[in-house]
Structure 1
């Protein structure tokens, strides 16, 4: 039997295979010819541009798509040369000749990243990027009269106009010394910190030495990028001492949580690697303009190469704020908590008409200026003429929406904003002032030392997030007491300076036997009067004429001390602060009670006799090498004493400055002598 012809489909397949084989032979021949041409051109003195065109022409069919974004049929070349996606390929011959091949187009070219290559002026631009060296000395929030051992850090920064340098605020947090070094230089220059923006995580530095600024062009800022725009991050991350350059694209632009300052501001997410040391470095677009500052990254087992940069609008706000006010005043807030109104039944119940859109106001901060115009269960329809949607977003750019808090963050402190509200079905317009937020438990103390006050071994300090982190570690939001976390997350300050005053710990002594285990409990009242904060204005003082001081603490605890040992500042309705106006010897004038009564949270109480408290305080301070019974910022502290002495000197009081200085020196010397005695005995008095 003779061989029969294959079926039509097999014939077609055989024809395709034959055509494919011919095409592969043709492509192979073309590639071989291109390689020969490249080698010949490279060895000829006429120049080396020929290989680029020859090899590029051979590889061009392997790319799919055209400039219009229409998909074209894919063709086969040599084995292994088929590519899908990517931003283009540089031929081997062109690479050997140090000539970059042109990127090949691909489907959806209109949505592909722009040219990732740095510009021809990249060397000039990178000259403005500096390495920042900082020595940090953080306070010991658990022992607030001390500081921790100093440590050093390296980060990045860059020069801008006006002989200024920008970096991250967390790079110079609690700094004692800052130095900067230019690229390729072996000299470090001492820098001074002009402003620190805690919320936006930006710091501004300057260098007085003129030599530092010679021959450098400052960085120029660009506009907010588009999605998938190329971005190049320059800095000095870990892994080496020289400058590092990483590239990526813009992945997302939205209101982002800033970890350092716990603020919600506009942020840019990129897929370029941002590592420790990159912080403060600039991010450039393909035109060599700065579009942001690297500041944080997402570390998660399910996430890779997710970094964040501070965008130009936030940077501009920081710089303009500094130039307007001579310092950083912060980003204002509206001072309201709101809820989405996406449920149609809820909108109907709230008397919203079909064309109405907005968000429901849940609470208004008592300290916010908006408190006078906005009430709970009002409906916020628009902010400064921009309508707010039911999900709390506003138009951002073409095809994009963003949280309306972005509009608030674009304003400056004490600026006015126009709100359109729906109150019980009626539209009203109100103009409100925007102020910096007031937190009952602040997330940051902005470089200041912590406040503290000690009497009879009882250590009082305000609750702050740094203090909670010091006491309970990085997982403080899980490990801290529930009541404290509730105040942190849900409570609002009723007065501008209101604080949660804690009985932090008790320095064990005979006078406070039985109270040693009390720690981190809120002080509710002192002698029956509510405690609001650690400080008080002199204009609000009222002397205590009772024999005892009764401190009501949280958990219904109580502390009582003889009032002869202290002088406390009062207002008629509330205790405005736990403070002392003079040294211990003169604190008996205002109070005559026999006991000090501390009422604590959870209905705890502490009661101390006046005479014992008076006699024991200085001895306890000396035992623990504590130079003062209060922090310098409190009335009666070193700073307050210096201010009073300066005022007295200005008024012509003879010898007042010297007397104040001598008194402070004597107290410090006495404490130092006690510490030396204890050091000689070989005993340690430190207790945690």
Structure 2
């Protein structure tokens, strides 16, 4: 009889487990003692359906090989060649979706299909570090033969089962791991400065799985992007994926996620709600500061209380209703907007309610997530703009610096990344990692501005004011002479990076044209 049951399972393997179970749990069969067999068959059919879903998804998952020359954040004229392997999967439009950090700005990328030994050259069509997603294209008809795109699904609920597919390091074949969704809430990605909706799962995900799909019911629930501990793994959910794809389809590029660019605090304290004239039924968040570059500048004010956004009430704990009884941070309603769209804010100001339409723009962090190597050298001082990769390498710079917002267009934090010793830099060895505030009394906007202030200096005395009140005083002529010696003895090709050279030459050409006129 067991053989007959298994035979029946095979015959019904193309049907859903639900319909098969319903058939075998009919009253007539139950009276004949089929309950055990029906339960057995239901479990078998469920397993068959899951395997069928995984088999379909597996053929759409690819292994990605990328090669890059990564800059040394402390000595940016030096690069290190690195090779990576990761995962990706086919989506509609003959595109491959993966993580930005594994393929985004890498000059050479190859892709291999499941079950194949051939590697195909791929081109990065678009990428966004803020959401850690990238799109690859392959110009080969052979590659696209029998390749079926995976369909994007919905966000799974907490407790639902998902499957992660990819190519973890330590092996060359595809891996499938099973887990359950443990949490859905905004988190700050490693390559982003704002909180973005994230799925957390207990599925065993390892390096190399990054960029691969997480599937449920034969649809993509998200993209693997990060492993933070031995038991917690993170997934980029489909709303963020769709936000990225839509932006690329409409504009050809991805600028970033949107933000109101304000600072705020919760209103959970009874007395503070009373102080700001909130009635008992009112809930919201208190605005502490509005960034100078925010589109809300001149509309919202400090001490305004935001009660609702697009008609959705904000809780005193900064959250909004999400699904069932879940709650997430209210900024999610802003991050999923497209740049240039508006949000309707209900605001309490001095006891009176107001409504304002605010145009949302992409986030403008003062410290970028990634930045092409840019540097300027004077004597033995190496100046660079502060970036998140630099913060991760430095033990002196506080992590909180990465969350600061730009107050002026083009603003950067310029720091001294290294002090190469010579007669000119004697006594300044410990000035590494300090921010340069002023050059001869002029506030420094960014690295290009600093290089211009120094290159155009007409005085013999050159003074650099740093954070914490530190001062560097140099003889300009001696410093320039020492620069040539430093470049030669340290094997540095140039005193400034290529981007500063181009801007300097363009500036020089413009000035020459004005002089001729």
Q: Please report the TM-score for the alignment, with normalisation by the length of structure 1.
A: 0.66
Per-residue deviation, 1:228: 2.8
Q: How does 1:7-18 map to 2 (within 5 A)?
A: none
2:122 maps to 1:182: no
What is the match of residue 441 of structure 1? 367
Distance 1:640 1:214, change over 3 A: farther
What is the match of residue 222 of structure 2? 292
2:471 aligns with one of 598, 605, 625? 605
Per-residue deviation, 1:399: 2.6
Q: Would the aligned equivalents of 1:357 and 1:390 in 2 still touch at CA under 8 Å?
A: yes
Q: Would the aligned equivalents of 1:383 and 1:419 in 2 still touch at CA under 8 Å?
A: yes
2:436 maps to 1:523: yes
Distance 1:227 1:123, change over 3 A: same
What is the match of residue 423 of structure 1? 349
What is the match of residue 102 of structure 1? 42
2:509 maps to 1:593: no
2:124 aligns with one of 177, 188, 193? 193
Q: Would the aligned equivalents of 2:462 and 2:475 in 1 still touch at CA under 8 Å?
A: yes
More strand as a share of residues: 2
1:227-276 CA-partner distances (Å, limit 9, x unpaired)? 33331211111342111112223232222232232431111222321111
- What SS does the aligned partner of 2:223 have? strand
Q: Would the aligned equivalents of 1:38 and 1:50 in 2 still touch at CA under 8 Å?
A: no
What is the CA–CA distance in structure 2 between the aligned matches of 1:116 and 1:313, rounded to whole Å? 30
Q: Would the aligned equivalents of 1:220 and 1:290 in 2 still touch at CA under 8 Å?
A: yes
1:372 aligns with one of 289, 294, 298? 298
2:269 aligns with one of 339, 343, 351? 343
Q: Would the aligned equivalents of 1:350 and 1:424 in 2 still touch at CA under 8 Å?
A: yes
What is the match of residue 409 of structure 1? 335
What is the match of residue 163 of structure 1? 94
Q: Would the aligned equivalents of 1:337 and 1:362 in 2 still touch at CA under 8 Å?
A: yes
What is the match of residue 424 of structure 2? 511
Q: How does 1:298-377 map to 2 (within 5 A)?
A: 298-299=228-229, 304=231, 306-377=232-303
Distance 1:90 1:142, change over 3 A: farther
Comparing 257-266 with 136-145, which one deviates more in the overlay? 257-266
Per-residue deviation, 1:450: 2.4
Per-residue deviation, 1:642: 7.8
Distance 1:377 1:452, change over 3 A: same
Q: Would the aligned equivalents of 1:460 and 1:504 in 2 still touch at CA under 8 Å?
A: yes
Per-residue deviation, 1:509: 2.3
Per-residue deviation, 1:100: 6.9
- What SS does the aligned partner of 1:469 have? helix
Number of aligned residue pairs: give it.
490
RMSD (Å) for aligned C-alpha atoms: 3.1
Distance 1:216 1:621, change over 3 A: same
Q: Would the aligned equivalents of 1:90 and 1:102 in 2 still touch at CA under 8 Å?
A: no
What is the match of residue 69 of structure 2? 137
What is the CA–CA distance in structure 2 between the aligned matches of 1:321 and 1:131, rounded to whole Å? 26
- What SS does the aligned partner of 1:480 have? coil
What is the CA–CA distance in structure 2 between the aligned matches of 1:485 and 1:449, rounded to whole Å? 20
What is the CA–CA distance in structure 2 between the aligned matches of 1:190 and 1:50, rounded to whole Å? 43
What is the CA–CA distance in structure 2 between the aligned matches of 1:215 and 1:119, rounded to whole Å? 19
Stretches of structure 2 that go unaligned for 5 or more consecutive residues are 12-24, 26-34
Per-residue deviation, 1:298: 3.8
- What SS does the aligned partner of 2:353 have? strand
Per-residue deviation, 1:486: 5.5
2:200 aligns with one of 269, 281, 290? 269
Distance 1:359 1:145, change over 3 A: same
1:161-198 CA-partner distances (Å, limit 9, x unpaired)? 11110011122255231110001111000111111211
Q: Would the aligned equivalents of 2:215 and 2:221 in 1 still touch at CA under 8 Å?
A: yes
What is the CA–CA distance in structure 1 between the aligned matches of 2:223 and 2:272, rounded to whole Å? 42
Q: Could you say which structure has the greater relative contact order, defined with CA pairs below 8 angstroms and 6 or more residues apart?
A: 2
Q: How does 1:475-494 map to 2 (within 5 A)?
A: 479-481=395-397, 484-485=398-399, 487-489=401-403, 491-494=404-407
Q: Would the aligned equivalents of 2:193 and 2:402 in 1 still touch at CA under 8 Å?
A: no
Distance 1:260 1:450, change over 3 A: same
1:48-92 CA-partner distances (Å, limit 9, x unpaired)? 44999xxxxxxxxxxxxxx9xxxxxxxxxxxxxxxxxxxxx998x
- What SS does the aligned partner of 1:511 have? coil
Per-residue deviation, 1:157: 0.4
Stretches of structure 1 that go unaligned for 5 or more consecutive residues are 1-36, 53-66, 68-88, 105-113, 473-478, 536-576, 652-688
Q: Would the aligned equivalents of 1:116 and 1:247 in 2 still touch at CA under 8 Å?
A: no
Per-residue deviation, 1:347: 1.1
- What SS does the aligned partner of 1:175 have? coil
Per-residue deviation, 1:380: 0.4
What is the match of residue 125 of structure 1? 57
Q: Please report the TM-score for the alignment, with normalisation by the length of structure 2.
A: 0.87
Per-residue deviation, 1:121: 5.5
Q: Which structure has the larger Rg over C-alpha atoms?
A: 1
What is the CA–CA distance in structure 1 between the aligned matches of 2:95 and 2:382, rounded to whole Å? 42
Q: Would the aligned equivalents of 1:138 and 1:174 in 2 still touch at CA under 8 Å?
A: no
Comparing 605-614 with 329-338, which one deviates more in the overlay? 605-614
Per-residue deviation, 1:116: 8.8
Per-residue deviation, 1:485: 4.9
Q: Would the aligned equivalents of 1:366 and 1:492 in 2 still touch at CA under 8 Å?
A: no
Q: Would the aligned equivalents of 1:333 and 1:437 in 2 still touch at CA under 8 Å?
A: yes
Q: Would the aligned equivalents of 1:116 and 1:231 in 2 still touch at CA under 8 Å?
A: no
Per-residue deviation, 1:118: 2.1
Q: Would the aligned equivalents of 1:420 and 1:429 in 2 still touch at CA under 8 Å?
A: yes
Per-residue deviation, 1:339: 1.4
- What SS does the aligned partner of 1:369 have? coil
Q: Would the aligned equivalents of 1:136 and 1:173 in 2 still touch at CA under 8 Å?
A: no
